[in-house]
């Protein structure tokens, strides 16, 4: 919603109502506002879900509500809890980082953003192009906004307390929100799931190993109605990661977001070994068709 600010809540509701003719549907949406207006975003999502009666997935709630310590996140998730208690099928996901990523020409960086975040230009790092890995000055910020609006930016503005609170909440699953363009981007694209197991399970002990695996496998699989995914069970796709829970660690960094994780011995996709000791051996992935859901 933030990337299409002209759309109204009613337009989103009317679009969502078209899904009623289909089974196993889901609305997954990016919020409209962040930081000090994050609760308005959560209320809007709840209104859409209640009006359409279509399950709603609130995408990456961390970059929406992880501000001012954990206060905003606690209030946001309390709204979700209350809505869920009233029969509104809404949940959320979060990635395990305190920095977001967006194109500098989007409305994310419109006037007033730094005041909302309690940050300044130096909180933004350029993720690609000739100024890659440089932190913004006012001059660089406005130059890129005007001449290279599709430049990807990393914003170090979120609170660790807010992200922590979200990741351990029972209504929040893990999502990477990860993608790359020409090999550049945010480390969440390569490191999200290993980071959860190393930082949030082993180091910070905010989640048990079992809770983390649940948030990364069966929870999202059930949310997306992927009945053959997210579990080791006869009749399901044999998608298995063999790892050392004492050694697994994300390798991707903000300056080098494609670095591989450590502690993963093998990855099996559809019953075929695709990665063994850091080397790719096959490509067994395939599209999941709607009729399979």
Residue 180 pLDDT? 65
Say yes or no to pLDDT of 293 above 80. Answer: no
Domain ranges of the chain: 1-95
Say yes or no to pLDDT of 141 above 90. Answer: yes
Sheet holding 264-269, edge to edge: 240-243, 264-269, 272-276, 279-280
* Residue 283 burial (CB count, 10 A): 9
**Distances from the Cα of 214 to the Cα of 52, 110, 261, angstroms:** 28, 37, 20
Say yes or no to pLDDT of 251 above 80. Answer: yes
Closest CA to 289 of 239, 240, 225, 241: 225
Q: E-assigned strands of the chain?
A: 27-29, 56-58, 90-94, 100-103, 124-126, 152-155, 172-174, 180-181, 184-185, 240-243, 264-269, 272-276, 279-280
Say yes or no to pLDDT of 292 above 80. Answer: no
Residue 291 pLDDT? 76
Residue 72 pLDDT? 97
Nearest-angstrom CA–CA distance, 151 and 178: 16
pLDDT tens per residue across span 146-199: 999 999 999 999 999 999 999 999 999 999 998 766 778 899 999 999 999 999
Residue 289 pLDDT? 86
Cα angle: 160, vertex 2, 27; to 5 degrees: 90
pLDDT tens per residue across span 25-71: 999 999 999 999 999 999 999 999 999 999 999 999 999 999 989 99
Nearest-angstrom CA–CA distance, 42 and 75: 10
Nearest-angstrom CA–CA distance, 201 and 226: 26
Residue 4 pLDDT? 87
User: Average pLDDT, stretch 250-256?
Assistant: 95
> Which residue has 């606690």 as its token pair?
74
User: Average pLDDT, stretch 83-91?
Assistant: 98
Q: Is the dihedral of CA 149, 152, 158, 162 positive or negative?
A: positive
Nearest-angstrom CA–CA distance, 100 and 65: 12
pTM of the model: 0.94
Nearest-angstrom CA–CA distance, 284 and 55: 31
pLDDT band for position 240 (50/70/90)? very high
Residue 5 pLDDT? 86
Residue 197 pLDDT? 99
**Distances from the Cα of 68 to the Cα of 2, 42, 118, angstroms:** 21, 17, 9
Give 236's strand partners. none
Mean pLDDT for the chain? 95
Tally: H helices and E strands in the chain: 10, 13
Residue 24 pLDDT? 92
Q: How far apart are the first and last CA of the chain?
A: 27
User: Average pLDDT, stretch 96-104?
Assistant: 97
Name the percent of the chain lying above pLDDT 70.
99
Name the percent of the chain lying above pLDDT 90.
90
User: Average pLDDT, stretch 9-24?
Assistant: 95
Q: Cβ distance 21 to 46 under 8 Å?
A: no
Q: Cβ distance 150 to 103 under 8 Å?
A: yes
Residue 1 pLDDT? 87
């Amino acid at each position: 919603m933030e990337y299409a600010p002209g759309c109204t809540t009613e337009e989103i509701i009317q679009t969502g109502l078209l899904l009623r003719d289909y089974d196993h549907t889901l609305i997954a949406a990016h919020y409209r506002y962040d930081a000090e207006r994050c609760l308005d975003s959560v209320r809007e999502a709840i209104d859409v879900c209640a009006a359409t009666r279509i399950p709603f997935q609130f995408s990456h709630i961390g970059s929406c509500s992880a501000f001012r310590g954990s206060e905003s996140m606690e209030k946001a998730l309390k709204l979700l809890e209350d809505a869920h208690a009233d029969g509104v099928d809404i949940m959320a996901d979060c990635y395990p980082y305190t920095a977001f990523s967006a194109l500098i020409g989007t409305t994310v960086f419109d006037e007033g953003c730094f005041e909302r975040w309690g940050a300044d230009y130096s909180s933004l790092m350029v993720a690609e192009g000739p100024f890659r890995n440089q932190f913004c000055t006012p001059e660089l910020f406005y130059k890129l906004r005007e001449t290279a609006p599709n430049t990807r930016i990393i914003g170090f503005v979120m609170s660790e307390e807010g992200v922590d609170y979200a990741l351990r909440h029972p209504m929040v699953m893990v999502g990477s929100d990860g993608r790359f363009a020409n090999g550049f981007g945010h480390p969440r694209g390569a490191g999200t799931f290993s980071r959860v197991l190393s930082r949030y399970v082993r180091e910070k002990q905010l989640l048990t190993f079992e809770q983390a695996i649940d948030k990364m496998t069966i929870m999202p699989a059930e949310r997306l109605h992927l009945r053959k995914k997210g579990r080791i069970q006869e009749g399901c796709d044999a998608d298995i990661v063999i790892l050392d829970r004492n050694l697994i660690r994300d390798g991707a960094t903000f300056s080098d977001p494609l670095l591989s994780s450590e502690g993963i011995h093998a990855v099996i996709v559809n019953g075929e070994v695709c990665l063994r000791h850091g080397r790719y051996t096959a490509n067994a992935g395939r599209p999941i068709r709607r009729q399979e859901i």
